[in-house]
Each structure stands twice: as C-alpha cells, then as structure tokens.
Amino acid sequence: MSELVPVLSQTDIQERVKSLAHEISADYAGKSLVVIGVLKGAFIFLADIVRHMSVPAQIDFVRLASYGADTKSSGKVRLTKDIELDIKEKDVLIVEDIIDSGLTLAFLVEHLQTFNPLSVKVCALIDKIERREKEVAVDYTGFTIESGFLVGYGLDCNEDYRGLPDINNLKL
Ligand code: IMP
Ligand code: MG
C-alpha cells in the first residue's frame, strides 16, 4: 500500500506563491513577460502565481517528457509540445513544478535560447537537490527539499494525485 505523508500545506504553498509573485513583479517592474509553463506538472502553480503578479504577462506552455511511468528520470528529455508565442526579444520566465536531475530544465533553457529572447529566467516551486546531475540557474525557488517523491498541487505519480491541494511525499 502506498502512503501520503504531508510535506507542504495549502497555506504554506499559497503564502510562498504570493511572495514569489511579488518578488517577480518587483524585478520586472515596467516590463512585460512571457510566462512559459511546463506541462503538465506546473499547471496549478502557474495559474496561482500569475494571478498574484502585477506585471503584464502573456502565457504559453511547453510539454516535456522524461519520466515515462517511472519515478526516476529516464535521462532522455523529449519536447512533445513547443511554444506557440513569438518570444524573440521578449523577457521569458519559465515556470516549472519541480527540479530533480536538472536535465529537463537545462534542455528547455537551451531550446528557448534558440528563439533569441531578451532574457530567460526560471521560477520553480520546488528545488529537489539530492539528484541534481546538471547545474541549472534557478532564479526564483519556492521551496528547497532534500529528497523524496512528491505528489499533489499539479505533481503526479503516473498521472495520479495532481488535484490534491497540498504537497505530499509518496511512500511506495
Ligand atoms: P528532471 O529533469 O529530473 O529535473 O525532472 C523534472 C521533471 O520531473 C519535473 O518537471 C517533474 O514533472 C518531474 N518530477 C521530478 N521529481 C518529481 C517528484 O518528486 N514528483 C513528481 N514529479 C517529479
Ligand atoms: Mg511530471
């Protein structure tokens, strides 16, 4: 039987999301942003954070796959849905749910750079540091967590648990 151990409450998440949004709004004051969410895991985080931002933002999504049905990265990243907006000479903010090996994010940053944006920064709700293989700069981090497989608030295990309002450690 798998067990869910609470890690971050709804209140913890909402407070942190609000303060990240304020930090981002201050840094980009007077500018506009293209916010790019990484499907599917970041859909709830993105929806929450953009509603607390005071800078104008256009929104787009990419879909990247690296896990298959496993809880460990396969190491191979595939882009299965690209951006649809033109980001040339735009300030881009990637919104990601969780960074584990860093391979997904490193791949995405490199991919977006080919469109010649003005800047690319990264906002991740969770930075899971234990399994980092590729160093990637994370400009805005919600929470730093040592290890564990987390589900809820958009995060899944085999497509389950995304709708949970809080974040839990899934003990298989
Ligand atoms: P990375 O390429 O290893 O950094 O993996 C990043 C992607 O794997 C994230 O976008 C997540 O979708 C997924 N992932 C990594 N760790 C977890 C986790 O603990 N729970 C759910 N998904 C995860
Ligand atoms: Mg995922």
d(CA 139, CA 121): 6
**Does the CB atom of residue 41 touch ligand 1 within 6 A?**
yes
Least confident of 9-23, 66-80, 103-117: 66-80
Q: Could you tell me if residue 157 is inside a domain? A: no
Pocket test for ligand 1, best of 44, 64, 67 (most atoms within 8 A of CB): 67
Number of Cβ atoms within 10 Å of the Cβ of 153 = 27
Count structural domains, the chain. 1
Q: For the chain, give the mean pLDDT.
A: 94
Q: Which residues are catalytic?
A: 100
Which has the higher per-residue pLDDT, 78 or 151?
151
Range of the domain at 32: 10-67+76-149
Q: Could you tell me if residue 155 is inside a domain? A: no
* Cα 155 to ligand 2 centroid, rounded to whole Å: 6
Q: Could you tell me if residue 35 is inside a domain? A: yes
pLDDT band at 72 (very low <50, low <70, confident <90, very high): low
Q: Could you tell me if residue 121 is inside a domain? A: yes
pLDDT at 7 over 70: yes
- What CATH number corresponds to the domain at position 142? 3.40.50.2020
- Helix (H) / strand (E) element for 27: namely helix 10-27
Q: Could you tell me if residue 139 is inside a domain? A: yes
Q: Could you tell me if residue 120 is inside a domain? A: yes
Q: Which ligand is nearest to the CA of 69?
A: 2
Phi, psi angle pair for 152, to nearest 5°: 105, 165
Q: Could you tell me if residue 83 is inside a domain? A: yes
Q: Could you tell me if residue 95 is inside a domain? A: yes
* Cα 165 to ligand 2 centroid, rounded to whole Å: 16
Nearest ligand 1 atom, CA 77: 2
